[in-house]
Structure 1
Amino acid sequence: MATESPNIFLTLIAFIALIGSLVVVHELGHYFVGRWFGVKADKFSIGFGPQIWGRVDKRGTLWRIGLLPLGGFVQFAGDMNPSSQADDSWRQLPEAERNQTFQSKTLWQRALIVFAGPTVNFLLAILIFMGFLLAFGKSVTPPVLDVVQPGSPAAEAGLMPGDRVLKFNGRSIETFNQMANETIMIPGERVTIEIERNGARLAKETVLAEVKEVDRFGNEYRIGRIGVGASKVETREVGILEAPWAAVLQTGNVLRQQMMGLGQIISGRRPLSELGGPLKIAKVSGEAMSLGILTFISLAALISINLGFMNLLPIPMLDGGHLLLYGIEAIRRRPATAQVQEWAFRAGFAMLAAFMLMVTFNDLASFGLFESG
């Protein structure tokens, strides 16, 4: 089957727009909460590398644009190293100037400043989902089966047309899409399905099928299948009061699926080759942009959730690593020693470097770079 590929220019523009905007939003979360607590930001950079434009505002913050437009960073006053350790030069600052530094703030204030970055990534996704719900409503397919494929896992479990699915692996099911999303994430695994048939509640067990699908761009996906269908679709309007909570639930479901996927990779149920990196994100960005702006915005919501989630992992160099050290500090009632923090961040850097090498290798392999012949 012939596959489509957006041109390299569109892919590059889409990738820069996606990653650049999401990382800037992330850093703005740190910036505004830091400013709320009276921390001065020395520098806020959109992009990395040599400065091509800059302006200092009345608070003394340099707002700059770097030559490499992938992401950005905020540098708070007093940031001497990645672990934000105070040193003698910090202690010798005048009191008024020292009180504007990150290190001068209480433990809970520092923790909130760090936590704010991932939080705004989640909030951005919630706002996007709210907009879609208000604009287009919510399509709902009741979990009443009208198709059970012969020889499928569902047929082997004894499911029949007319059955209403109540629970799937212990989770209550309100729509058919909920069940489909659960199924897709766990190919080859045993599941328990609770159904209602003629007023009686029954429990069925089966092992999901594992299939591989290839999209129009040539991307291959490993997903679960059970072999059922439901065709009745209802479009429900979502009111302004209902939309926020519905968007929160949708964000929570995406986050749960991402956590589940990572857990499956760690446990070996999914191969490491399924992890993608910047090159794969660039490819998907171009594909989404070629399908229209709404598809691209939907992708931005998914990547924003992923960015927030990944940054909360307890790995030094990431926000979650800082929060882990703050948790240790709260328990010990004193910070970890400078040597411990230094070694922790060296280990975190090594882990991230190894991870980036691995996902870049996966990306190149997925593009067929290492295929012979």
Structure 2
Amino acid sequence: MTQNPGFLLTILAFALVLGPLVFLHELGHYFVGRWFGVKAEAFSVGFGREIFGVTDRRGTRWKFGWLPLGGYVRFAGDMNPASQPDAQWLELPAAERARTFQAKPVWQRALIVAAGPVTNFIIAILIFAAFAMILGVDRTPATVGGVLANSPAAEAGLSAGDRIVSMDGRSMESFKDLANFTVLRPAETVSVTYRHDGELRKTSLTLATIHERDRFGNEFSRGQIGIAPGAPVYQPVGVLQALPAGVQMTRDTLGWMLDGLGQIVTGRRSVDELGGPIRIAKISGEQLSLGLPALISLIAVISINLGFINLLPVPMLDGGHLFFYAIEAIRRKPVEPQVMEWAFRGGLAAILALFLLVTINDLGSLGVWHSLAGLIG
């Protein structure tokens, strides 16, 4: 029987996931900007018309917009999406102009822009570090504890006690590494290097495809090698070891995400797996219904997503700004305004096209297109 977390719980979970992450992302920009003496004119959670807000003693307007799908911090002098100064900026008094974003050297502007995505990665690191202190770090070795009959592992000759060293040349430090590698590769043929009774051996096998449906009705396919782990090993960590563990877990999660994205780009996985705000809301509601730890884990993963996406060298995103700042640093002069304008128009078009695609996918995951086809048929 399919479980549904309900509309209100989904909206609450979505707000708990996206709201704090957007706020902290923009707060990263804000604090580094303040550090370099840049005046922030507005700090908004959400876009569109202001619902309510307050102006602080520094002249910054803190507000909430009616469309809670993002946010922004607007610095003085940052007068357009391309962050290019205009005639109004040149007319400002010298003292006031010195406090604007565009008056700062390129390295300071780059640090202000990079602070948002970096904050997202820091959030994930801290969450994973907290889990590491509470639960310990999974150190279960990539050793075969048992082999399923008629599985790819059985057909390849693997047996209990074998230690998986690498798959397709990628080192398997733990059983979790092995599981994350195989789950993304249904029906793919992979090379396996393993140690049997101290002897290093190599083989190849084709991973099985397992079709599953979770308690919420989500259907997905995953790869399976057909082995079970040995006894689980969880290493307790203290405060000093927790932070490196958080960094490692964040790096592993990012690598898993890049793996999946690479498979979509190369056509090995369907583009239908790309999701947007609607799917994030749906998953948020599902995870909250499983408990607060599940939701917090999702927050860490979404935070890594936000950090990575914002660093892509696409105009309109933080990474697009950093790309042009890198060019400016090399050329020792800013990119021409008309070039920036056309680049940001193209970036906006690309973002809108991607938003349309993921919205179509999101509605499909909710069964909207299937229901419409049934009505038309």
Q: How does 1:1-373 map to 2 (within 5 A)?
A: 2-371=1-370, 372-373=373-374
Structure 2 Cα separation of the partners of residues 329 and 187 of structure 1: 45
| More displaced stretch, 263-272 vs 148-157 | 148-157
- The amino acid across from 1:187 in the alignment is P
Structure 2 Cα separation of the partners of residues 101 and 187 of structure 1: 52
What are the superposed Cα offsets for residues 217-248 of structure 1, whole Å, 9 maximum, x if unpaired? 01122221111111311232111111111110
Q: TM-score, normalised by structure 2?
A: 0.95
Structure 2 Cα separation of the partners of residues 284 and 258 of structure 1: 16
Structure 1 Cα separation of the partners of residues 81 and 155 of structure 2: 56
Structure 2 Cα separation of the partners of residues 234 and 321 of structure 1: 43
- The amino acid across from 1:312 in the alignment is L
| More displaced stretch, 196-205 vs 245-254 | 196-205
**Secondary structure in 2 matching 1:83:** coil
Deviation at 1:326, TM superposition (A): 1.4
What are the superposed Cα offsets for residues 171-222 of structure 1, whole Å, 9 maximum, x if unpaired? 3222211111111122232322221111111122222223322111011222
Q: Is the 8 A contact 1:163 1:196 kept in 2?
A: yes
- The amino acid across from 2:93 in the alignment is P
Structure 1 Cα separation of the partners of residues 132 and 15 of structure 2: 27
Q: Is the 8 A contact 2:165 2:173 kept in 1?
A: yes
Deviation at 1:69, TM superposition (A): 3.5
Structure 1 Cα separation of the partners of residues 42 and 108 of structure 2: 20
| More displaced stretch, 168-177 vs 220-229 | 168-177
Structure 1 Cα separation of the partners of residues 238 and 94 of structure 2: 52
Structure 1 Cα separation of the partners of residues 236 and 95 of structure 2: 54
Deviation at 1:51, TM superposition (A): 2.5
**Secondary structure in 2 matching 1:370:** helix
Q: Is the 8 A contact 1:16 1:70 kept in 2?
A: no
Q: Is the 8 A contact 1:22 1:71 kept in 2?
A: no
| More displaced stretch, 292-301 vs 156-165 | 156-165
What are the superposed Cα offsets for residues 44-87 of structure 1, whole Å, 9 maximum, x if unpaired? 11223332332222221111223334432100001111000011
- The amino acid across from 1:328 in the alignment is I
Superposed CA RMSD in Å reads 1.4
| More displaced stretch, 45-54 vs 277-286 | 45-54
Q: Is the 8 A contact 1:44 1:63 kept in 2?
A: yes
Q: TM-score, normalised by structure 1?
A: 0.96
What are the superposed Cα offsets for residues 301-359 of structure 1, whole Å, 9 maximum, x if unpaired? 00000011111111111111111111222232222211111111111111111111111
| More displaced stretch, 321-330 vs 120-129 | 321-330
Count of residues paired in the alignment? 372
Unaligned stretches of 5+ in structure 2?
none
Q: Is the 8 A contact 2:175 2:229 kept in 1?
A: yes
Structure 2 Cα separation of the partners of residues 54 and 76 of structure 1: 17
> Stretches of 4+ moved more than 4 A in 1?
none
Structure 1 Cα separation of the partners of residues 313 and 69 of structure 2: 24
Identity of aligned residues (%): 54
**Secondary structure in 1 matching 2:144:** coil
Structure 2 Cα separation of the partners of residues 244 and 313 of structure 1: 26
Q: Is the 8 A contact 1:153 1:226 kept in 2?
A: yes
What are the superposed Cα offsets for residues 67-116 of structure 1, whole Å, 9 maximum, x if unpaired? 33443210000111100001122112111111111111111111111111
Structure 1 Cα separation of the partners of residues 53 and 360 of structure 2: 36
Structure 2 Cα separation of the partners of residues 134 and 62 of structure 1: 39
Q: Is the 8 A contact 2:69 2:277 kept in 1?
A: no
Label 1:312 to 1:5 Cα distance change in 2 as closer, same or farther (>3 A): same
Q: Is the 8 A contact 1:52 1:66 kept in 2?
A: yes
Label 1:9 to 1:64 Cα distance change in 2 as closer, same or farther (>3 A): same
**Secondary structure in 2 matching 1:242:** helix
What are the superposed Cα offsets for residues 156-179 of structure 1, whole Å, 9 maximum, x if unpaired? 322112101122222322221111
Q: Is the 8 A contact 2:139 2:235 kept in 1?
A: yes
Deviation at 1:21, TM superposition (A): 1.1
What are the superposed Cα offsets for residues 278-299 of structure 1, whole Å, 9 maximum, x if unpaired? 1111100101111111111111
